[in-house]
Every structure is written in structure tokens, then in C-alpha cells.
Amino acid sequence: MVFEKLTRPLCDSFPLLLGCVLILSGFSASAETPDFRDLSRRIREQADSVDRLRDALGRHHIELVEPLYGLARIQLSANRFEEAKANADRALQIVRWTQGLESERQFPYLELIVGIEIARGDWDNVEDKLKHYTALLGQKYHGDAQTRLGHMLWLANTHAQGARADTNKRRAYHLMQATRVSEIAVQYAQARRLTLTPVYPKLLFAVSRAYDMENEGIRERGSVSYRLRELAPGTHILEERKVAITKRYQFGREKLLMMRSAIRDSEHFDDEALLASEIYLAAWSSKYEEAADFSAALDRIKQFALERGLNHEQVNKALQQINQVTPHRLVLNFGILKQSVQASGD
């Protein structure tokens, strides 16, 4: 009865719910104003430590790598981008000299360098680094499969960020790469039987997000829409706009359904995460004004509420989250089954 009382007005106002625009979150969280005096002190201390270690071991010793990485991170926090880039590059070169040009130990340093280039808006260098990163994930990759999935997720997320922040000239490229990389990662996880790992639901969400972002580009028309709808590069044969959007809606929903199943079957997730996955499915169908799918999502939330004995307040919170969830950021704990709200995710 609790659920019926709450969902009846929600369903009665369904056109209004469908018409609302879900807030799209950015990819960088707002941070507090840094304490530059403290950062300057930490930079001096870390630089002194690096210098002492270099004098004792030599310029190219592998033990310099972690201190250089730490120094570059502090310099990045202080917006000292050139210094950060120089020290991150030094660390990367030492890894290559000592561990080999194809060593999997390069990934954290490449990721840091990309982060520095993004911070200073140099997307030309970002593109070059992402291509190198992608090549390292290819046939000559030497690391374990689960770590590889984590690198693929980072790559997909970075391309998604590029679709937001890079120039319009490369936007379609980033959108297609975000979709391609995340789809391949999902298939790789399935082939390696890693579908019960914590990273797998995040990969499925990344695919769904990529299709939603492609649909944003398709709706805007122009060159981005043209490239996304072109059936094959150079053919100039375009998929009908409505068909292209509907197809991506279905692909994205399929991945969210798979995410729900992965969360349900994995020991790494609890009922909070399972309920969150249902909320994302409801929000997805609401955004695309798919009444039948939205009704099915509400039915699953109803069943969840009945099976877990949710009270009036908990059900209300779940329904409110349908309109409040940000579809480009994964949160697997809305604090609905507990009193306090705790966020987690990518």
C-alpha cells in the first residue's frame, strides 16, 4: 500500500516527469580553494627529497619514480603545470629506460601527464597521449586482465571528458572512442570471466553514458551529428536521426539492465547498489520519454520495496532520486536503506 500511495501521483504526473531535464554532471568535482602556502612548503620538501635521492642513486634510478610522481601531483594541485609536467615526464622516462618501452608500469604516469595537459587545456597533447595509452593496452599488454579493465575504464572516462571539454573538431572522435573502448572492455570482461568484479558494472555504466552522450551530439545537428550518424566513414550515407537516437536508447538501456544483473550477482555490492541500479533504469526511460520502460522500472522498484520491507520515507526517497540522479555520474549508494546519504561510484 505504501508504494501504491506514492507512485500513483508520480504516474499521474508522468508527462511532467518525462519533460524534466536531468542535470548532467561535469567530470571534475568542485574542490576547495587550495592552500598555496602549504602546497609551496610541501613542494619544497618533496623536491629536496627527490634531490637527495637523485644524488645518492643517480638520475635514472627506478626508486626516483614514486617521489617524482608525488612531486608532480603536488605541483598540479598548486597549478604549477609546467613543473608538474616536467617531473611527470621524468618519472615516465625512467620507467621506460629501466622497465622497457612497453612496460605496464607506465600507465599511472601517463594518466598523470594527461591530467596535467587537461588542466592546462592542451588537448592536442592529450590526443597524442591517449593514442599511446591505447596502443599500450593492445596485443603486447603484459599486465593482468583485471588491471587492464581498470585502464580501459580510465580511457573511456577520459574520452567522455574530452567530449565535454575538447574542441568541437574532436568531439565526435571522443564520443565514438568512449563508446568503442567501453564496449570492448565489456566484451573483454565477459571473455575473461570477470563479470563479478567491482569494475564490471562501472564499465556497463560507461557504455550507457557513452550512448547517451552520442545522442546529445546527434540532437544538436551539425558536423558532430553527421559523423555519428554516418553508417561508415566516407560513405556520406546517414542514419535517420530518430532511428539513431532510438537505437542508442535501446543499447544504453540494455547495458543498464546488465549493470543491475551484475550488481545483483556480485558479492561486492549490497542492496543499496541494487536499488541504485533500478533508479538509474527509471531515470533513463524517463529522460527518453519511454512510458512502458518507465512503468516496468517502477514495478521493479515496487517489488524491491515489498521484498525488503521499505517504509514510506525510504520509498519516497527512491522515487525522488529518479528525478535527481545525474546520468553521467555513477552513484551506487544513495543512503536510502540507511539514515545518512553516502555516495560512491566512479
CATH of domain 37-120: 1.25.40.10
pLDDT attached to residue 345: 39
**Most confidently modeled range among 34-43, 66-75, 162-171:** 66-75
Sorting pLDDT into bands at 50, 70 and 90, what band is 142?
confident
> In this structure, what C-alpha cell is assigned to residue 177?
572512442
Query: What's the whole-model pTM score?
Result: 0.85
* pLDDT at residue 27 greater than cutoff 60: no
pLDDT attached to residue 9: 41
3-class SS at 41?
helix
Q: What are phi and psi of 77, to 5 degrees?
A: -60, -30
The C-alpha atoms of residue 298 and residue 309 are separated, in whole angstroms, by: 16
Quick: pLDDT tens for 209-224. Answer: 999 999 999 998 899 9
Residue type present at position 71: L
